[in-house]
Each structure stands twice: as structure tokens, then as C-alpha cells.
Structure 1
């Protein structure tokens, strides 16, 4: 289960994302990027963050620690920005916190090299969860202490906005031609051989169990939060086995194999 903490101070808005996440301090004296239930994208964004983030961690990716953050709306009363004040006032209760990676830099494929193996793993994972928000325009990856971290999975699993069509998504293709790592020579076949067997019902159920009940109640067509969790598990499990066969990548744009991962130093070769 996610650690249950309380937000004690709102520090600043982070205006890079459309949902206006905020940097907050919690009662464990650590800093977190907080994503709010009152944001325009709604609670399903937070559900996607938890399930995809915890699944990524189980598969060996680096993902910032996720926690449940309780917010007292009174924190928003002293905020001078009306937009921020309204967001805080409308997000009382359980919200999502993502551990703040101090000093992290945004990923740039021209400055940081990724191996064909790692690129394949990330592209395959994004195809599994149908992540439409890891493009070259908005990579949603950070480099922290020389290592690549995955962030921001709220735009994944688009099928949960229309559960009646969810079963059909298991066989839908994934367009990775604009993916941030499309030109890094992603070895998708090797990634599928490594990762698909690890996407088990147990692993998916564990990730779904971390979603707070408050974000799953009153979902149309479901009797209770556990029924919604089972729907996530079934959809992802169906997709995992063969999604690698339906990943579209650009032709003739792969970087050479054997590149050294890490910061690219001019003149040092790749």
C-alpha cells in the first residue's frame, strides 16, 4: 500500500504540466510533487499514475516513490494565486504525492544516450499501458544522478474513460513513431521476451491494490472498487502477451547498437 502522509505546506506550483501539480512538504519532512483530485483531468489521472507507476517499479524501472497525501483545504486560504487557491480548496482529502527528485534534469535525446535495450524496455512498457505522453515534445523522463527515471503516467490507459470499449483495447496497435526514444534503436522484441512474462495477474493486482478506494468509488458499471481494480488487471493482462507485435516505429532512424548510456560528450563518440 502507498504510505499515507499529510501535506503540511504548499511551496509552489509547477507549471510545466497541464494539471498544475504543486511542490509540497509533508509530515515526513520530505518534498513531493502533488497531483490533485480537483484538477481538470480528474481522479482517473491519479489512478493511472498509481497503477502504471507501481507496475513500472515492479518491472525494474526507476520511478519516484508514490505516496497518498492528505490535504486540508485550509492550506489554500493563504495562496495569492486564485487558480492555485481554487485547486487546493477543491482537492480536500486524499491526493497523490510523487517524491521530488532534487537536482534532476529533463531528458533530452541529444544530450543523454539510451541503449537499444533500455529504449526497447521503455517503448514496450508505454505500449502496454498505452502511454500517449512520452513524445519528443514532452519526454516525461528525468535524469537524476546520472540515471534515467520515468515520471507522469496520468495520460495512460485511455480505455478507462470508456470501460465499455476496454476489452477491444487489448488488440489495438501502439504508434511509437513520435516516442521520445523512437530513434534510440529500441529492441522491442527483446523487451517483450524479458518483461511480458513478468506482467502476471499477481503483479497487476498488487499495483491496482495501491489505488485508494476513494478514487474508484461510484464508477459507472461497477459494484465496488475491487471490481474496478479487476477490470484494470484483466485489460493489462490481455494486452501484455502480444502488444509488441503491434508497435509502430519509424523506419531507418535507429541509432547504432552498442552506444554507451549516459551524458553525450561532444567528440567522444557514441
Structure 2
């Protein structure tokens, strides 16, 4: 268990290559600390909301002791990307000037395949509980968002979590949902220790921890044009969402357990 702390900030020096096709176009890039990072751009499809989900989900996972690559704030200056030949990438880079998010690049990692790779029950249960807590819809057989690196399992890509914030309506009700989509989780069948994990995680997490993690969100990611809330008010909604969800954690625990019964 790690205490939430401020993230390091790096400057992006070199765009290396896009990592996959799709709307978000994450990229491999090198920063001024000589490390390589998977960059998530504020100018991509879901904008800063995907970065906020990535930050909150990743740092909650890290606090709970789960293996997540280091997250860093990554700055792109005004001139970056002007020489990029691909017009789509050039536009993405120019729309992403300022603060973005980077994940330490796990060189040589391979994608987790449930048919080939194993995951022991306690770790599987921790990952399932986390994803139910943060309403992460994107850890399925089709897209596991898990990597095997040095024979260990690593969690990546939490940008699809906290999906309530894309409509921003009835977040109170969203916080109390059992999260039925947990039925599609790639590790659900292996998650036989959910009761033990639930007891551990609900003791570790508390309002003070959640407040510190929410306060990591940079103010420049909270200047939303599609709403009337001020940055502090937006942070308060995220905090209240997480606090309410933690208070009602029995709901999503039972949903995961019931969904698992249909698989085994």
C-alpha cells in the first residue's frame, strides 16, 4: 500500500510512434528524463475526462498495492509536433499542448491472454474488485488491458472508468449501481477471493485517501466548456462519487459474486 503523492512532471522531447489505431491514438514517446512513456493525450477523443479516469484509476490501484506502471504528468510545448508528417497526429499533438498523462513504458511486455497466461485467485479478485469500484468497462477478453512483464501481471489503461462523467447526470445514482458489466471481466472466473479482498480494501480505503487522490487532478484538466461547475466543484463530485461507492461497496461485491456463479 502506497500513500498518494504528487506525480512527477516530465517534458516530452520526442514522439516515437503511435501504439495502435483508434480514436485515442496513444503514443510511445521519450521525455527529458530519458525514459520512454505511453502518452495519453488531452486532445484525443474523450479529452481530459479520459486522463482523469486514467489518473484516478491508476492511483487508486497503486494505493491498494496493485502493479501499475508509474504515472507522470507530461507537458507538450507549443512547438511540439509541427514537423510531424501525419496530419491527424499533428492535429492531435497541437490540440494536446500543455499537461498530458504518461505511463512508464514496459519494454518487452506482452498482452495478457486468459487462454495462455495464469493469474492467481487473490490478484484476480483484487483486480475485479478495483474495476467494479471504479466502474471500469474495459478489462474484457476482447481487450484485457493487462500486460505480462518480467513474468508479472501489470494493469494498464483505466481511461474508460468513471463513465458517469461523460454525461455528468445523476452521479449519485451511478455511485450506487451494482455494476452489471462486471460479468464481462476477463478475470472474473478466477476471482474466488472476493470476500477477503473486499474486507481488506474497504479497510484500506477511506475518505482521507480518496480526497488525496482526487486532489491530484490538475486544475487545467478541470476547465470544462460543457458545464457550469468550477474546478473545485468538479473535484468534489469525484470525491463524493468515490466515497458513496465505497460506502455502498456491498452492492458491487454481490453483483460480482452473483455474476461469477454463472461462470463456474
Alignment TM-score > 0.5, same fold: yes
Q: CA separation of 1:8/1:173 partners in 2, compared to 1, >3 Å: closer, same or farther?
A: same
Matched, 1:191 2:191: no
Number of the residue aligned with 1:262: none
- RMSD, aligned CA: 1.6
- Measure the CA separation in 2 of the matches of 1:127 and 1:171: 11
Q: CA separation of 1:245/1:251 partners in 2, compared to 1, >3 Å: closer, same or farther?
A: closer
* Aligned partners of 2:141 and 2:184 also within 8 Å: yes
Matched, 1:94 2:99: yes
**Matching of residues 20-169 of structure 1 within 5 Å:** 20-169=25-174
Aligned partner of 2:259 among 226, 235, 249:
249
* Aligned partners of 1:123 and 1:186 also within 8 Å: no
Number of the residue aligned with 2:177: 172
Matched, 1:206 2:215: no
* Aligned partners of 1:119 and 1:184 also within 8 Å: yes
Corresponding residue SS for 2:16: strand
- Measure the CA separation in 2 of the matches of 1:114 and 1:54: 22
Structure with a larger share of its residues in helix:
2
- Measure the CA separation in 2 of the matches of 1:212 and 1:21: 20
Corresponding residue SS for 1:229: helix
Number of the residue aligned with 1:4: 9
The aligned length equals 253
* Aligned partners of 2:11 and 2:75 also within 8 Å: yes
Q: State the TM-score, normalizing by the size of structure 2.
A: 0.90
* 1:98-130 CA distance string (max 9 Å, x none): 110111111111221112221111111100000
- Measure the CA separation in 2 of the matches of 1:17 and 1:143: 23
* 1:9-53 CA distance string (max 9 Å, x none): 111111155410011111111100111111011110000100111
Structure 1 residues 213-222 or 79-88, which shifts more? 213-222
* Aligned partners of 1:52 and 1:153 also within 8 Å: yes
Number of the residue aligned with 1:236: 242
Compute the displacement of 1:162 (Å): 2.8
Aligned partner of 1:222 among 212, 218, 229:
229
* Aligned partners of 1:73 and 1:88 also within 8 Å: no
Q: CA separation of 1:177/1:246 partners in 2, compared to 1, >3 Å: closer, same or farther?
A: closer
Corresponding residue SS for 1:74: coil
Structure 1 residues 238-247 or 160-169, which shifts more? 238-247
* Aligned partners of 1:172 and 1:246 also within 8 Å: no
Unaligned runs of 5+ in 2: 1-5
Corresponding residue SS for 1:113: coil
Unaligned runs of 5+ in 1: 255-270
- Measure the CA separation in 2 of the matches of 1:73 and 1:180: 41
Structure 1 residues 130-139 or 86-95, which shifts more? 86-95
Number of the residue aligned with 1:259: none
